Structure 1
Amino acid sequence: MAPAITLAADAPTLSAANTGFMLICSALVMLMTPGLAFFYGGMVRVKSALNMLMMSFISLGIVTVLWVLYGFSMAFGTDSGSIVGWNSDWVGLGDIGLTELWDGYTIPVFVFLVFQLMFAVLTPALISGALADRVKFTAWALFVALWATVVYFPVAHWVWGAGGWAFELGVIDFAGGTAVHINAGAAALGVILVIGKRIGFKKDPMRPHSLPLVMLGAGLLWFGWFGFNAGSWLGNDDGVGALMFVNTQVATGAAVLGWLAYEKIRHGAFTTLGAASGAVSGLVAITPAGGAVSPLGAIAVGAVAGVLCAMAVGLKYRFGYDDSLDVVGVHLVGGILGSLLVGFFATGKGQSDVAGLFYGGGLDQFWKQCAGVFGVLAYSLVVSAVLALLLDRTVGMRVSEDDEVAGIDQAEHAETAYDFSGAGGGAVRTADAAPVAPAESKKVDA
């Protein structure tokens, strides 16, 4: 069959509507990182709250700079061996025209790269929840830089870059089930196996210090996730992005109900922490699948994720790994479930004509999903553990035992999250502090 001829008149042209839509979606995804900071920050003890916030916020700085220097080129440049990309014109982003379009789409390259940047920022921040209370901030910053370079950028190319092995195999990952959530969850497991447990794990109570902050963070994540998911279609012309938007809401609602039902049966109460965690598990699970399944399929994906993730968070006590804030139980397990369920619930009427087992497509797509899931899981787990071991043997990953017991906020940041004495919780900058004169005694006029 002769190749099709594309006429100049048929070539994509810049769409102001799609460009504006994608810029809004990019801002929504950026909001997810502060939302994650609040979500994690409320779940830790009060003496670690600021450190937890900072572990997310620092990713905004480090990964942004790396993305400009070489990250975008590695993730989306010309393929090399189906493993990594490279485009020297994109190094430093200096040779990209203002109206140069992303290939095959109606949005500028700058819009695509900033949208993908926000994914790159969020993913290492997800890992931080597993390491609460015990990691040096300098070591964490170095880990983020190294992990983004040798894990996230190549894996993003595998999954979404033209020529990447998972992309070419036909693995369906609409918005990051493998590249983001399995990647981060496996990395979290690799690191905690190296650095060990918190002092007092399984002995001392380690309850969330602020459930309102947890709920606020979950709400911000849910809100931002609409940009994360619906925006991943890179436009708003054919209804697929709208389907993903609907499925994001539907699956998340079903996951909240599933988690709370399990929690009531297992523990006898409906908790706010369970509601927030259930919402995140549903968001994670629908991320790879939402463009391929129907709203009824989204209910199934969300409900399964809500129940199984609720069950999975207890595995750390059985197997003895200290996943502080359940990154493994929610992101790794939720990402695996959402990715594999594509092989059963894909209708063939969404993002592609690929159908899953329940819609007459057999198990062909399921096996492709398995390849993507376990390929990313194994790579991220092993490489992340090696990076953690390297940093632990050089700069040291953990704070001292005394600092961990006293509180990592004071040790690493010289601040506290809350101060009830009225003196202020932050460190005083002596250059800005004006001397305070003693109060004059009041004189009473005769």
Structure 2
Amino acid sequence: MDTGSIAWAITATALVLFMTPGVAFFYGGLVKAKSVVSMMMMSFGAMGLISVLWVLYGFNMSAVGGTWDFAGNPFSDFALGSLATGETANTDLIGVAFGATFAIITVALISGAIADRAKFGAWMIFAGVWATLVYFPVAAWVWGGGWILGLGESLGLPGVIDYAGGTAVHINAGAAALALALVLGKRVGFQKGMDKPHNVPLTLLGAAVLWFGWFGFNAGAEFLNGLEGAGLIVLNTLGATAAAILGWLVVEKFKDGKPTSVGAASGAVAGLVAITPACANLEPGWALLLGAVAGAVCALAIELKFKLGFDDSLDVVGIHLVGGLIGTLYLGFFAIGTGLFTGGDLGQLAVQTIAAVGVLVYSFVVAFVLGLAIEKTIGFRVKNEDELAGIDTVVHGEEGYKLEVV
């Protein structure tokens, strides 16, 4: 591999790793001032734990020898000693690090659904077990030779398109987030407008960091292809996100009377989510339309928790699950050469739907069972009185903001 591709791989790895602190900022600004440390620590906890698990055995699980294998053998090269001494160790290990950043942020995204009411220790147990049982195998299904990657060939249809993680990251995390929201139940006094973001600039900073890092998220894997498709990916990542901001703000204006800065930040994230699976397989005009649709639909979807009665604190379901589904299914209509309206037939839509539903159902069921097991044993949710007071001091012994009277 040439040095330019290696340099881009290292840069992209750093960009995607930086996205998880971006998630921490984005989520941290949205919660109560007395819960900001707890919220951000769930992201930083994921950075520590999932990185270690990925190196020990997660990477081994993320590739399979046969299409219908569940996952790779976690002990095939435990802690990657053999990979690190191979002839292609330099480039192989960069690929391992790049893959780790995807695992980290997928887990971190889930935490927004249980903001203000989760124990840190319980969260860490959930994060480690869920990554082992769900993310590592799903990564193998989508990118590591598994059934999703081979689905089209098995059915005589076009292959599933998920370039950067619509199924493996966003549908996966969104489904788990819904499961945990149901297990932990509603916050005390749950109703529309119950909590306002305590620090809007922090949320905007988080959205900006996410957008910045997402160029590595979407275009990072092009180091394997000599960066041949990077131009289209970068432009689509820019365009879809920009259009999604506009789509969200228009809906917000008509729905609530005022476009908000939090709405703009949320719209940006919705656009980034939707373009993730589609970034390498859409013409720029169709990417703009995808962004506008995702921004508008996600702005409406976040109201589902009030209509259906589940408390997804920071709209992980409305943005990541819904946005991931939109981006994944949209390819069935507009993917270059294979979409229903771009030269293909219903085959692309069929495989996209099967992949999306398969990951959604599997992630939801495992997360629900795991979350319920934790709740019924050591407890996942803090006491009501601690929730009302703000959980930073109870869980971490710290305060996000220390004000002293002089």
* TM-score normalised by L of structure 2: 0.95
CA contact (8 A) 1:89 1:96 kept: no
Instruction: Single out whichever of 76-85 and 251-260 deviates more from structure 2.
Output: 76-85
CA contact (8 A) 2:5 2:227 kept: no
Alpha-carbon shift at residue 90 of structure 1 (Å): 2.6
Matched, 1:31 2:18: yes
Equivalent in the alignment of 1:11: none
CA contact (8 A) 1:388 1:397 kept: yes
Distance 1:360 1:232, change over 3 A: same
One of 39, 44, 63 as aligned partner of 2:31: 44
Which residues of structure 2 form unaligned runs of 5+?
152-158
Matched, 1:53 2:35: no
Distance in 2, Cα, partners of 1:58 & 1:100: 34
Matches within 5 A, 1:8-407: 14-79=1-66, 81-86=68-73, 88-97=75-84, 100-101=87-88, 108-162=91-145, 164-169=146-151, 170-202=159-191, 205-235=194-224, 237=226, 239-348=228-337, 355-407=338-390
Equivalent in the alignment of 1:428: none
Matches within 5 A, 1:432-443: none
Distance in 1, Cα, partners of 2:269 & 2:350: 26
One of 375, 392, 400 as aligned partner of 1:417: 400
Code of the residue aligned with 1:145 in structure 2: it is G
CA contact (8 A) 1:98 1:110 kept: no
Distance 1:341 1:413, change over 3 A: same
Code of the residue aligned with 2:290 in structure 1: it is V
After superposition, the C-alpha distances for 1:151-171 in whole angstroms (9 at most, x for unaligned) are 100111111112x00000121
Alpha-carbon shift at residue 108 of structure 1 (Å): 1.2
Code of the residue aligned with 1:149 in structure 2: it is T
Instruction: Single out whichever of 240-249 and 317-326 deviates more from structure 2.
Output: 240-249
Greater helix proportion: 2
After superposition, the C-alpha distances for 1:300-335 in whole angstroms (9 at most, x for unaligned) are 110110000000000101111000000000000000
CA contact (8 A) 2:332 2:340 kept: yes
Q: Could you tell me the percent identity over the aligned residues?
A: 52
The CA RMSD measured in Å over matched residues stands at 1.5
Alpha-carbon shift at residue 195 of structure 1 (Å): 1.2
Distance in 2, Cα, partners of 1:133 & 1:238: 42
CA contact (8 A) 2:32 2:390 kept: no
CA contact (8 A) 2:192 2:306 kept: no
Aligned length: 399
Instruction: Single out whichever of 414-423 and 230-239 deviates more from structure 2.
Output: 230-239
The higher radius of gyration belongs to 1
Distance 1:361 1:331, change over 3 A: same
Distance in 2, Cα, partners of 1:255 & 1:323: 21
Equivalent in the alignment of 1:434: none
The structure, 1 or 2, with the larger RCO (C-alpha pairs under 8 Å, 6+ apart) is 2
Alpha-carbon shift at residue 360 of structure 1 (Å): 1.8
Alpha-carbon shift at residue 88 of structure 1 (Å): 4.3
CA contact (8 A) 2:64 2:70 kept: no
After superposition, the C-alpha distances for 1:344-395 in whole angstroms (9 at most, x for unaligned) are 11113xxxxxx10111201100000000000000000111000001101111
